Amino acid sequence: MIDPVTLAVLKGRLEQIADEMDATLFRTAFNPIIAEAHDASHGLYDAVTGDTLVQGKSGLPIFVGVMAFAVRATIERASHGELADGDVFIFNDPYDGGTHLSDFKLVRPYFHDGRLFCWLASVGHWHDVGGNVPGNYNPVASESFQEGVHIPPVKLVSAGQINNDIVDILKCNSRQPTSLYGDLNGQINALDLGAKRLGELLGEYGAETVAVALAELRAMAARLMRAHIRDLPDGTYSAEDFLDNDGIADQPLKIALDLTIEGDRMVMDFSRSAPPCAGPVNIAKSTAIASCYVALKHVFREVPANAGCLEPVRFVIPESSILAARAPKPVGGYTETILRVIDVVFQALARAAPERVNGCAYGTINALSLAGYRRDGRRWVMFSFFGGGLGGNPESDGLNHGNAPISTATIPPVEILEAAYPVMFTRWALRPDSGGAGRHRGGLGAIYELELLEEQADVFLFGERGRFAPAGVVGGQPGALNRFFYPQAGEIRSPPMASKMVGLSLARGQRVRLETPGGGGYGDPRERSPEAVRRDVRLGYVTRDAARRDYGSDVG
């Protein structure tokens, strides 16, 4: 046993190690998606199982679950050879390690007094890793080879000595080799710092005491999750939602959940979901499980972020599912599918615990890439994601222009994007009437319009929610649909696939426009106070016509 004060101190110290690793990479990365948007994560993982022990508070929550699978893949690879202090493995396998090819994982064993104590891991979204589309969000990929270079777990560093041949291979497969090199070294430095800080902690408290604390933190998470589940009424609660299409066949794809509560246990059964598809919205089973973790953490916020969260939860995800893809099925648009998984978890739990659950968030990152050549011949690739409205919740309206609920990543600032790339944003504003009506309104989406400043650029968009709006809960209405506009043949058009686009060429001075969804509302709109509706109209969040339609003719 360990006394509560020591446990609390060690919990803070361990989280601080992961937080410092996050901060180190954010400060040193070359790529704005890591440096500004914080699309990365660090943590400590079990020496034997690879299970999550600790994760930083600034990293992406979606990586908590998938990185456990990544570390397990590394453990399997390491079992076939010698393992030494100072080794670092690198890979981006999206099937064993989860997510997609842009997310590179670095995993390092940590030894204390000659024994393996745990693993340290870093993951970051690299700017470009090859493939058919700059930035790697290829909405028409039919196999993973069209999405980027695929690296299995290999030893990048052996006992402190880096293998530069691997570095050269990685740089050769990127349109942005300098950015790749900077991000890679940032991740290596973050692991070095983590090893140093962990050594200081073990030297101060002893390995045995820290190991006991880690075990107790995991047990605490499992106890808390069981208690939360026990508070829910027994029964089966079902929900389903849809992806617009897979980018190749214009057919909706169902994501369905049957969630069963039995005492202090939960079963999440996705058997009714669509089979694997031709296009890049498949995800690996590890990614599906990780997205469920993120959804549950939104609802049960007090549970510590470690593997104990999922101990009382059983997953049913058939191998024949879009949520259990294997190579070489394309998975580049994994973000869109995990957002839909989170949405169906929210919708199912709203039937069991309406007092705890949000309306659905805007449900797409709208991965937008522009790429071309500068006048001096240098290649440039702008990749970014964009915000939208979060769902109304039991206590308040949803956040306007927020980040996707898969992460704590921030939307890259307009100043950074304009400074780094030859574009100018001519509009960056809230989108009126985009939040779903409700007792607590969904947050507003945004309007982004950008103009090309170079001679020519190719444009690619990978989005969702163009045909199936973010749902409200407990009687709340859905948010607005996603919309994208571009110039072609003297007209302003929208993509045939709603929110997915390839093959678009822009000339200097031409603009594209993205209007992102708002969040779903919470509760019956007729229960919203007239004062709140009038305030929305006054601020321009809701037009008078929409206020009369959704909230009643006597207000607005």
DSSP track, 196-235: HHHHHHHHHH-HHHHHHHHHHHHHHHHHHHHHHHHTSPSE
Q: Is the pLDDT of residue 494 over 90?
A: yes
Three-state secondary structure string covering 331-375: CCCHHHHHHHHHHHHHHHHHHHCCCCCCCCCCCCCCEEEEEEECC
Whether 258 maps to a domain, the answer reads: no
pLDDT at 81 over 90: no
Q: Give the mean model confidence (pLDDT) for residues 160-180.
A: 97
**Nearest C-alpha neighbor of 388 from the set 431, 451, 418, 335:** 431
Q: How far apart are CA 14 and CA 3, in angstroms?
A: 16
CA distance 65 to 293: 7
Mean pLDDT across the stretch 295-324?
93
Q: Which residues pair with 491 in a beta bridge?
A: 488
Question: Across residues 211-238, what is the average pLDDT?
Answer: 96
Is residue 395 assigned to a domain?
Answer: yes
Same domain (yes/no): 217, 362: no
Percent of the chain with pLDDT strictly greater than 70: 99
Q: Is residue 476 part of a domain?
A: yes
CB 47 within 8 A of CB 69: no
Expressed as residue numbers, the domain containing 104 is 4-222
Predicted local confidence at residue 408, as pLDDT? 66
pLDDT at 300 over 80: yes
Q: Bigger pLDDT: 188 or 66?
A: 188
Q: Is the model's pLDDT at 155 over the cut of 70?
A: yes
3-state secondary structure of 51: coil
Question: Over the stretch 12-50, which tens digit does the pLDDT of each residue have?
Answer: 999 999 999 999 999 999 999 999 989 999 999 999 999
The answer to whether residue 242 sits within a structural domain is no
pLDDT of residue 118: 98
Mean per-residue pLDDT, 318-327: 96
Q: Mind listing the pLDDT tens digit for each residue in 531-549?
A: 999 999 999 999 999 999 9
Q: Among 222, 246, 277, identify where a domain stops.
A: 222
Quick check: is 173 in a domain?
A: yes
Three-class secondary structure of residue 506 per DSSP: strand
Q: What is the tally of structural domains in the chain? A: 2
Domain stops at, among 179, 203, 222: 222
* Banded model confidence at residue 556, pLDDT cuts 50, 70, 90: very low
The domain boundary, picked from 195, 222, 249, lies at: 222
Structural tokens at position 308? 């104990």
Mean pLDDT of the region 358-372: 96
In a domain, 232, yes or no: no
Q: Over 90: is that where the pLDDT of 476 sits? A: yes
Burial of residue 552 (number of CB atoms within 10 Å: 0-12, 13-18, 19+): middle
Is residue 292 a part of any domain in this protein?
A: no
Backbone angles phi, psi at 535, to 5 degrees: -65, -40
Residue 439 lies in a domain: yes
- Of 436, 423, 435, the residue nearest 513 (C-alpha): 423
Strands (E), 47-102: 52-55, 88-91
In total, the chain counts a number of residues equal to: 556
- pLDDT averaged over every residue in the chain: 95
Per-residue pLDDT of 60-70, as tens digits, reads: 777 767 899 99
Residue 351's pLDDT band (boundaries 50, 70, 90)? Answer: very high
